[in-house]
Amino acid sequence: MTIGDWERLGDEELLRYLVFRIRRSRRRSPRTGVEIGFFLLDTRDWVNVIPITTRGELVLVRQFRHGSDRVSLEIPGGIVDREDRDPTATAARELREETGYVAESVQSLGITRPNPAFMTNTCHVFLATGCRLDGDLQMDPGEDLEVITLPLAELDAAIADGRLDHAIVLAALARWRALGSPGA
């Protein structure tokens, strides 16, 4: 059997918030012809940045996450703002704001889809190399961040023991590794 696209029959916006909206999308199955409603979450694209210092360390941030109700260890990232000229600019900005680090080079590693079952956005993954501390953090009002560095030699242990457990962070690290860990 060949899997095909579902016919879009219509959309109804249910809720709109600052950074996302929820809608019900009516679709028709190409296999059965049955109309089914799906709930979708629309939000702007995101970036995740894998920052590697000149000393061979990964720059990470610790922050409280309301969904898990606990502090999470992550790579820096954020929403692509409308005024950013492209996701690369967002990656450089988020790295600087969330960590105080700047990079000699920022290169795209491609995209991931955070949860294509119900989310419509993409997450752009970037590698930032030659990172060095350049100033203080510039946190948003809703952020409390702590910056730490992790020697790359300890990355596997941090994943294995659960210190790094954020799914989108793990996806970014897997993409980086699948491309041969450039910059490592």
Q: What is the pLDDT of residues 9-59, one digit of tens each?
A: 999 999 999 889 999 999 999 999 999 999 999 999 999 999 999 999 999
* CB distance 133 to 101 below 8 Å: yes
Give residue for tokens 């995101």. Answer: 46
The pTM score is 0.93
Taking residues 144-162, report their average pLDDT.
97
Measured torsion, CA atoms of residues 125, 174, 120, 142, in degrees rounded to the nearest 10:
-60
* Of 37, 32, 30, 36, nearest in space to 5 by CA: 30
Q: Which strands, in side-by-side order, build the sheet including 20-28?
A: 7-16, 20-28, 35-43
Topology annotation, domain 46-178: Nucleoside Triphosphate Pyrophosphohydrolase (3.90.79)
Question: What are the residues facing 26 on neighbouring strands?
Answer: 10, 37
Query: Start-end ranges of CATH 3.90.79.10 in the chain?
Result: 46-178
Taking residues 126-140, report their average pLDDT.
93
pLDDT tens for each residue of 65-122: 999 999 999 999 999 988 887 999 999 999 999 999 999 999 999 999 999 999 999 9
Whether residue 1 is predicted with pLDDT greater than 80 in this model: the reply is: no
What does the radius of gyration of the chain's CA atoms come to, in whole angstroms?
Answer: 19
